[in-house]
Amino acid sequence: MDERDLLGEVMEVLGKDCCLDDCAVIPWGEGFLVATTDMLHRSTDFPEAMSDWQIGWMATAVTLSDIASMAAQPAFLLLAVGLDRPDRLREIMRGARDCAARYGTSLVGGDLDHHNELTLVSTGVGVVDREGIVRRSGSHPGDLIAVTGVPGRAQAALEGVRRHERCLFEPRPRVEEGRALGKAGVSAMIDTSDGIALSLYDLLAANPCGYEIHEGLVPLPEEVEDHGKALDMALFGGGDYQLLFTCPAERMPIQNVSYTVIGEAIPSHEVLIDGRPLGKRGYQHVWPG
């Protein structure tokens, strides 16, 4: 049973709306609030080599990435910390504070708890106007598919490429880029935290159309000599917090955002790479049973 199966159960209880986007969307005055919460913990999410400051940074960054993918402006953040050792708190809080400040927002509160395994839950609320919001749904056949930055670097770091370690330990959520993409009128968006392939399948679940990408267009992580391996990292690796989006061709190029077109939305409801089905795999929590 994996995370996406369990989401089905959540949808049965809460209704489908709760799980359609990277953030919950709450109509608010003339626009929307978006809200998201992310649980991270030691064994799954924080490699041994990470500093406490980096752990605080990362917990905040993943939440900001969800807000970015809605083209929203972060408004405030909360951080619940389940601490294994009290002496870790200060640096974790500093990392979280610094990440929030870097992206123009702040940590306004939180909770402290004692936990055998270090566990962080960051929650973020953002604002976006009615015209500016971008959701997972909204792609049309013919829209171009693009991704910000270079996917696969975090996975490369996980597999030992030291040069990319900061991509893994100090992810840079694409907050400014998300806002700019919203203003440019992109049609659908998601972040790539579980890899490009799973993100494409998440887009597929929210849209009647499908997607086809082209191997030769996908940017690859530097310093990975084996081409197949580099492509695998780019498509199926976790830990990147780039934005994957679709956009009508006539709205490109988009100013002030570094991105690469990797394919296009297609009429048939499937995910392809150069005409063949793209593997539905990537980073997923799996539960026994």
Helix (H, G, I), strand (E, B) or coil at 231: helix
One of 16, 49, 104, 111 touching a second copy (CB under 8 A)? 111
One of 64, 121, 213, 262 touching a second copy (CB under 8 A)? 121
Q: Cβ distance 180 to 71 under 8 Å? A: no
Q: How far apart are CA 281 and CA 275, in angstroms?
A: 18
Minimum distance between the CB of residue 50 and a second copy, rounded to whole angstroms? Answer: 18
Q: Does 36 bind a second copy (CB under 8 A)?
A: yes
One of 44, 256, 258, 268 touching a second copy (CB under 8 A)? 44
One of 31, 47, 51, 89 touching a second copy (CB under 8 A)? 89
Nearer to a second copy, 33 or 252 (CB): 33
Between β-strands 119-129 and 73-83, what pairing exists: parallel, antiparallel or unpaired? Answer: antiparallel
Q: Does 82 bind a second copy (CB under 8 A)?
A: yes
Burial class of residue 148 in the structure, from the number of CB atoms within 10 Å of its CB (0-12 exposed, 13-18 middle, 19+ buried): buried
Binders of a second copy: how many residues, by CB under 8 A?
A: 64
- Check residue 110 and report its DSSP letter: E
Q: How far apart are CA 63 and CA 23, in angstroms?
A: 9
One of 104, 112, 208, 256 touching a second copy (CB under 8 A)? 112
Helix%, strand%, coil% for the chain, nearest 5: 35, 25, 35
One of 49, 104, 113, 142 touching a second copy (CB under 8 A)? 113
Q: Does 6 bind a second copy (CB under 8 A)?
A: yes
Which position has the token pair 């990470």?
Answer: 50
Phi-psi region of 50 (alpha: psi -120 to 50; beta: other; left: phi over 0): beta
Q: Does 78 bind a second copy (CB under 8 A)?
A: yes
One of 54, 65, 69, 119 touching a second copy (CB under 8 A)? 119
Per CB under 8 A, which region of 100-108, 156-164, 201-209, 244-252 contacts a second copy? 100-108
Minimum distance between the CB of residue 101 and a second copy, rounded to whole angstroms? Answer: 11
Segment (H or E) for 158: helix 153-158
- Check residue 278 and report its DSSP letter: P
Q: How far apart are CA 221 and CA 165, in angstroms?
A: 12
* Residues at the site binding a second copy, with contacts judged by CB under 8 A: 1, 3, 5-7, 9-10, 12-14, 17-19, 23-26, 29, 33, 35-41, 43-44, 75-76, 78-83, 85-87, 89-90, 93-94, 97, 106-117, 119, 121, 123, 125, 285-287, 289
